Amino acid sequence: MYVNDWVHVIAGIFILGSLALGIWMSPYWFLFTAFVGANLFQYGVSKRCPMAIILKKIGVQEPC
């Protein structure tokens, strides 16, 4: 899997986790869901994402 794939997998896990926490723990967790969504939007527009930068630094491959 490449960086782009991992960004989507990790974002999906964060979104589902924060939705569950927002339902069962505190509605303030929905702010984290919004933060992840905003980062996905920003990544789609500018191709720069903090998670992608971290993944590249730990050695995840980029597509050729």
Q: What is the pLDDT along the chain (64 residues), one digit of tens a residue?
A: 898 899 999 999 999 999 999 999 999 999 999 999 999 899 889 988 888 899 999 999 988 7
What is the pLDDT, as a whole number, of residue 31? 97
Q: What is the pTM of this model?
A: 0.84
What is the pLDDT, as a whole number, of residue 32? 96
Ordered by start, the domain boundaries in the chain are 3-57
What is the pLDDT, as a whole number, of residue 25? 97
Q: Which of 42, 33, 44 is nearest to 11 (CA)?
A: 33
What is the pLDDT, as a whole number, of residue 62? 86
